[in-house]
Amino acid sequence: MKKIVFIALAALMALPMAAAKKKTVVAAPEPPSTDNTLSETEQREGWKLLWDGKTTEGWRGAKLETFPQKGWRIENGILKVEKANGAESGNGGDIVTTRPYHNFILKVDFKITEGANSGIKYFVDPDMNKGEGSAIGCEFQILDDLRHPDAKLGVKGNRKLGSLYDLIPAPEQKPFDITAWNTACIIVKDNHVEHWLNGVKMVEYERNTQEWNALVAYSKYKVWPNFGNRDGRILLQDHGDEVWFKNVKIKEL
């Protein structure tokens, strides 16, 4: 009888320990982030990070000698344009690469807030516009087509997302999710240029042609001599709306 009682007491004493063990949950480690890094394959193919995800190295203000002191912030591997008044370069101003590029494939992951406007420009000459507004260059338009008024301006939708801004419209139907990260890709091979959005081609054109010059002549860029026909820097735009960038990488061809 004593033996039975002892066994029962031992079992009761073990219950709290068993319960405690059941409550102890070890969280699985989060997988390492691959943002702002290059895979071994990308490295072999010649890709380079245009932004390292941590510093402002390789970038400066389009109208400054250094990186803007306001309007941009780096947070958890994301380069953020801070919300301002919605004006072109109305806060920190655009930022440009510290060197120009000729033939390349550029990829940029971006995410926009509702009603936001921004852009990725290329063939940018920072000295072309010293006045107010954005620096001058060809632009992959980034826009909330449903909510931003600029979507209703221009000609045949040439100011909407993925378009060559104010020049060539992207298709009306396009792969885009405002709640998620999206990938813009710009390909330049001499005079041939393409815009891609999430793996789908939006626009392609040939510069340095009679047709190109005629197109420019009927756009807002007609006042800028030889617009789009020369190489230049790459630009991320401050248009006074909150927009996020990461995984900015380039492969020179």
Q: pLDDT tens, 24-83?
A: 555 555 566 799 999 999 999 999 999 999 999 999 999 999 999 999 999 999 999 999
How sure is the predictor about 91, in pLDDT bands with cuts at 50, 70 and 90?
confident
Instruction: Answer yes or no: are the C-beta atoms of 87 and 241 closer than 8 Å.
Output: no
What pLDDT is recorded for position 133? 83
What pLDDT is recorded for position 246? 98
What pLDDT is recorded for position 38? 98
Instruction: Tell me if 9 is assigned to some domain.
Output: no
Rounded-to-integer distance, Cα 71 and Cα 235, Å: 15
What pLDDT is recorded for position 37? 98
Instruction: Tell me if 198 is assigned to some domain.
Output: yes
Instruction: Tell me if 169 is assigned to some domain.
Output: yes
Q: Over pLDDT 90: what percentage of the chain?
A: 81
The CA-to-CA distance between both ends of the chain, in Å, stands at 88
Coil, helix or strand at residue 187 = strand
pTM of the entire predicted model: 0.87
Beta bridge partners of 242: none
In tens, the pLDDT along 195-222 reads: 999 999 999 999 999 999 999 999 999 9
How sure is the predictor about 129, in pLDDT bands with cuts at 50, 70 and 90?
confident
pLDDT (mean) for 165-179: 97
E strands along the chain, which residues? 47-49, 59-61, 72-75, 78-81, 95-97, 104-112, 117-125, 136-143, 182-189, 192-197, 200-206, 233-236, 243-252
Instruction: Tell me if 28 is assigned to some domain.
Output: no
Rounded-to-integer distance, Cα 72 and Cα 92, Å: 6
pLDDT (mean) for 181-185: 98
What pLDDT is recorded for position 87? 80
pLDDT (mean) for 219-226: 95
Q: Write the CATH number for 186.
A: 2.60.120.560
Q: Give the residue, 213 or 12, on which the prediction is more confident.
A: 213
pLDDT (mean) for 118-147: 93
Helices (H), the chain: 2-23, 40-45, 210-217
Residue 111's domain comprises 39-252
Residue 171 clears pLDDT 80, i.e. is over it: yes
Instruction: Tell me if 34 is assigned to some domain.
Output: no
Rounded-to-integer distance, Cα 21 and Cα 42, Å: 45
Residue 19 clears pLDDT 70, i.e. is over it: no
Q: How many residues does the chain have?
A: 253
Instruction: Tell me if 11 is assigned to some domain.
Output: no
Nearest to 163, CA basis, from 190, 143, 183:
143
Instruction: Tell me if 125 is assigned to some domain.
Output: yes
Looking at the structure of the chain, the number of domains it has is 1
Rounded-to-integer distance, Cα 211 and Cα 207, Å: 8
Determine if residue 2 is left, alpha or beta; phi over 0 gives left, psi from -120 to 50 gives alpha, anything else beta.
Answer: alpha
Instruction: Tell me if 8 is assigned to some domain.
Output: no
Coarse DSSP helix, strand, coil percentages of the chain, rounded to the nearest 5 percent:
15, 30, 50
Instruction: Answer yes or no: are the C-beta atoms of 134 and 118 closer than 8 Å.
Output: no
Q: Which residue carries 């826009």 as its tokens?
A: 143
How sure is the predictor about 90, in pLDDT bands with cuts at 50, 70 and 90?
confident
Q: Give the residue, 240 or 5, on which the prediction is more confident.
A: 240
Q: Which residue carries 């230049």 as its tokens?
A: 232
Rounded-to-integer distance, Cα 120 and Cα 253, Å: 19
Residue 250 clears pLDDT 60, i.e. is over it: yes
